[in-house]
Amino acid sequence: MRLLEALRTHTRHPHDALHTHPLLTGLSPDQTDGRTITLRDFQHILLAFEAYYTHAEAACVVHWPDDGGDQAPNAPVLSWLASDLAQHRLDSWATRIAFKHPPIDTPSKLVGYLYTKQGSTLGGHVISKHLERRLALIPRLDQWFFAGYGSHNGAQWKLFLDVLDRHSETLSHSEVILSARQAFENINYFCDTVYNMIKTETLYEA
């Protein structure tokens, strides 16, 4: 089984779990529970992803090997999220969430992490259009993280797949898959945590 196929197979469950997470309800246009996303919902989602990626990026202590410029794309998610938080006048919740992220300290672990990060730009492209329709948030003006690379999302994903395919034989497939699964599970943890923080704060406000 090719590495890409193995990644899709072994990460399907934690990936699909995010599609039904209560924090993310209404974020995708194909959700059919009838709930429409509000601006406050969107802001809470931003806080969850910014907190997750702050921890995850800090855990990256390895770089892609320098082998003549064959670098895997690495989406500048924290830069995009910083623009989002500034645009919506939000303070980061990253320090409010205690989490010990395991180190991403081998090329194989990095590839697993990048698979989730780069792959999210594809779904983000669809979500970005949905946010524009529902909340009038203009991509790369009012919202950056889900807009990602903009019209270059597809090209960047194909470039990542090309690098993945070329280096597949030198990577530990089990380590790549475990790292990708952990990334999806960690995102779920941060969504859980922010969702519960919101419920608690709403209770005290009431």
pLDDT digits (tens, 9 = 90+) for 169-190: 999 999 999 999 999 999 999 9
Per the structure, how many domains does the chain have? 1
Share of the chain above pLDDT 70, in %: 91
Alpha carbon distance 48, 144 (integer Å)? 15
Mind listing the pLDDT tens digit for each residue in 88-124?
999 999 999 999 999 999 999 999 999 999 999 999 9
| pLDDT at residue 134, as a whole number | 93
Overall average pLDDT of the 27-48 stretch: 84
| pLDDT at residue 203, as a whole number | 46
Sign of CA dihedral 15, 78, 57, 93: negative
Look at residue 60 and give its three-state secondary structure.
Answer: strand
pTM of the model: 0.93
| pLDDT at residue 204, as a whole number | 45
Q: 3-state SS of 155-176? A: HHHHHHHHHHHHHHHHCCHHHH
| pLDDT at residue 1, as a whole number | 63
| CB 8, CB 176: distance < 8 Å | no
| pLDDT at residue 67, as a whole number | 57
Burial of 159 (0-12, 13-18, 19+ CB in 10 A): middle
pLDDT, greater one: 54 or 167: 54
Q: How high does pLDDT run on average in the chain?
A: 91
CATH number of the CATH domain containing 50: 1.20.910.10
Q: How many CB atoms lie under 10 A from the CB of residue 197?
A: 16
Q: Which domain holds residue 196?
A: 3-29+36-205
Confidence of residue 65 (pLDDT cuts 50, 70, 90): low
Mind listing the pLDDT tens digit for each residue in 193-206?
999 999 887 544 43
**Residue whose entry in the numeric block shows the structure tokens 């090997």:** 65
Spell out the residues 6+ positions from residue 96 whose beta carbon is closer than 8 angstroms to its own: 51, 197
